[in-house]
Homo-oligomer: A and B are copies of this chain.
Amino acid sequence: MRTTFLQPVPELICSHGLRCTRQRRVLFEALASTHTHPTAEALFEMVAPHAPDLSLATVYNTLKAFCRSGLAREFTSGNGTVHFDANIDNHAHFQDRRSGNLVDVPKGLSARLLASLPKDTIAQIEARLHCKVEQVHIEFVGQSHAGPAVV
Could you tell me the dominant secondary structure of chain A's interface residues? Answer: mixed
What's the number of copies of this chain in the assembled complex? 2
Q: Does A3 contact B (CB under 8 A)?
A: no
Interface residues in A121-151 (C-beta closer than 8 Å to B): 121-122, 124-125, 128-147, 149, 151
Interface residues on A, range: 35 or more
Nearest Cβ on chain B to A88's Cβ, whole angstroms = 15
Nearest Cβ on chain B to A55's Cβ, whole angstroms = 22
Nearest Cβ on chain B to A5's Cβ, whole angstroms = 24
Q: Which residues of B contact A109 (CB under 8 A)?
A: 121, 124-125, 128
| Chain A residues at the B interface, C-beta cutoff of 8 Å | 75-80, 82, 94, 96-97, 103, 105-106, 109, 112-113, 116-118, 121-122, 124-125, 128-147, 149, 151
